[in-house]
Amino acid sequence: MDNVGIVVNDLDAAIAFFVELGMEVELKAPIEGLWADRAVGLDGVRTDIAMMRTPDGHGKLELMKYHAPAAIGAGRENPPPNTLGLHRVMFAVAGIDGTIARLRAHGAEVLGEVARYEDSYRLCYLRGPEGIIVGLAEQLA
């Protein structure tokens, strides 16, 4: 897999959120032209993107802000975790409590609570910018 794409309204807020999670901005660029129209199947595409990379370089998120055609909502705002479709993106973190505290400064809200899965992980889901559900997993020693 090369990357996961997420369409957002506030590109700068989404970048700040994922940087706080430990990702790095690999590329920021405007995207438009016939090739973009053909690739995504829309006419008159004009977007700004930010390619975010995990610190190990193995995972990427492409954040996209559509200027034209305008982005449209997929339905219900802030859908629950059992909604059909792309569910969430899970990140491995070294300290889940500290990560939650840092992400709360960017508007993140924990959906339930931090739960322990056997003797393996501490896990939680939280809602980040644009209603994106992000999972956090702290591996236990």
Q: For the chain, what are the domain ranges?
A: 4-68, 89-139
Which residues touch 26 (CB under 8 Å, ≥6 apart)?
Answer: 51, 52, 53, 60
Q: What pLDDT is recorded for position 78?
A: 72
Its pTM stands at: 0.88
Q: What pLDDT is recorded for position 76?
A: 67
Alpha helices in the chain (DSSP H): 11-20, 34-40, 96-104
Block means of pLDDT (10 residues each) for the chain, 141 residues, are: 90 96 97 92 94 94 94 74 76 96 95 94 93 93 83
Cis peptide before 129 (omega within 30 of 0): no
Amino acid at 96: I
Which residues touch 34 (CB under 8 Å, ≥6 apart)?
Answer: none
State in words which class domain 89-139 has.
alpha beta
Helices and strands, counts by H and E, the chain: 3, 9
Q: What pLDDT is recorded for position 60?
A: 95
Sign of the Cα pseudo-torsion (54, 56, 59, 65, in order)? positive
Question: What is 4-68's CATH number?
Answer: 3.10.180.10
